[in-house]
Structure 1
Amino acid sequence: MKKLISYLLRGITIGITTGFLISLTFAFIYQSKDYAPSAPTFMSHFSSSTSATAVSALLWALIGCVFAISSLAFEVDQWSITKQTIVHFLITYVGFTPLAILCGWFPLNFFWLSFFTLIFVIVYFIIWLTSMITARHEVRAFNAKLHD
Structure 2
Amino acid sequence: MISKLMIRIFGGFGVGGLLTLLVIVFLYDSTDEVSTRLIALNLFGSMLIGAYFSVSALLFEIDEWSMLKQTLVHYTASLIILFPVFTWLTGWIPLHPQSLLIGWLYFTGTYILNWFGWYSYFKQLERRMNQSLQKRR
TM class by smaller structure:
0.7 to 0.9
**Once the 2 structures are TM-superposed, how far is the Cα of residue 99 of structure 1 from its aligned partner?**
0.5
Q: Which residue does the alignment assign to 2:107? A: 120
SS in 2 for 1:34: coil
**Structure 1 pair 19/93, CA: closer, same or farther in 2 (3 Å)?**
farther
**Once the 2 structures are TM-superposed, how far is the Cα of residue 50 of structure 1 from its aligned partner?**
2.2
* Count of residue pairs brought into register by the alignment: 133
Q: Contact 1:10/1:68 (CA < 8 Å) preserved in 2?
A: yes
Q: Which residue of the other structure, out of 53, 64, 67, is the alignment partner of 1:67?
A: 53
Q: Which residue does the alignment assign to 1:19? A: 20
% identical aligned pairs: 30
Q: Which residue does the alignment assign to 1:52? A: 38
User: What TM-score results when the alignment is normalised by the length of structure 2?
Assistant: 0.88
Cα distance in 2 for partners of 1:35, 1:18 equals: 20
Q: Contact 1:24/1:35 (CA < 8 Å) preserved in 2?
A: no
**Structure 1 pair 22/90, CA: closer, same or farther in 2 (3 Å)?**
farther
CA offsets 1:69-100 (integer angstroms, 9 cap, x no match):
21111111111111111111112222111101
Unaligned runs of 5+ in 2: none
Cα distance in 2 for partners of 1:23, 1:86 equals: 34
Residue pairs, 1:3-18, within 5 angstroms: 3-18=4-19
Q: Which residue does the alignment assign to 2:133? A: 146
Q: Which residue of the other structure, out of 101, 104, 124, is the alignment partner of 1:137?
A: 124
Unaligned runs of 5+ in 1: 37-48
Whether 1:86 and 2:72 are equivalent positions in the alignment is yes
Cα distance in 2 for partners of 1:114, 1:20 equals: 29
Cα distance in 2 for partners of 1:71, 1:51 equals: 30
**Once the 2 structures are TM-superposed, how far is the Cα of residue 32 of structure 1 from its aligned partner?**
4.9
